[in-house]
């Protein structure tokens, strides 16, 4: 491999980094405030823990299923159905 092939083009990768950053911020920015909101609605410690564990548990269960479906039907239809479902 030549040196130019090994070098990453930062201009091509930057939009991907920005998209991932914004996506993760959208998922995680509320996490420090969830216990405050939950206690304001009368939630107990167990309920707050269950609320925090719901997303990773569902991701753990859903990712293999959606992966198999996307292998069978293609990524685009499964992503569209997932977006409609959320």
pTM of the complete model: 0.57
Quote the pLDDT of residue 69: 95
The helix or strand, by DSSP H or E, that contains position 72, with its residue range, turns out to be helix 45-73
Quote the pLDDT of residue 6: 66
Per residue in 5-36, pLDDT (tens digit) is 667 788 888 999 999 999 888 878 888 888 88
Return the ∠ at Cα 36 (arms to 34 and 40), rounded to 5°.
115
Per residue in 35-52, pLDDT (tens digit) is 888 899 999 989 988 988
Quote the pLDDT of residue 5: 60
CB-CB contact of 20 with 30 (8 Å): no
Enumerate the domain spans of the chain: 3-85
């Amino acid at each position: 491999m030549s040196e130019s092939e090994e070098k990453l083009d930062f201009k091509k990768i930057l939009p991907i980094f920005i998209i991932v950053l914004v996506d993760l911020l959208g998922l995680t920015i509320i996490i420090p405030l969830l216990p405050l909101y939950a206690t304001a609605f009368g939630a107990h410690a167990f309920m707050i823990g269950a609320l925090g564990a719901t997303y990773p548990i569902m991701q753990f269960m859903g990712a293999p299923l959606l992966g198999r479906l996307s292998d069978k039907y293609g990524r685009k239809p499964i992503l569209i159905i997932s977006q409609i479902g959320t």
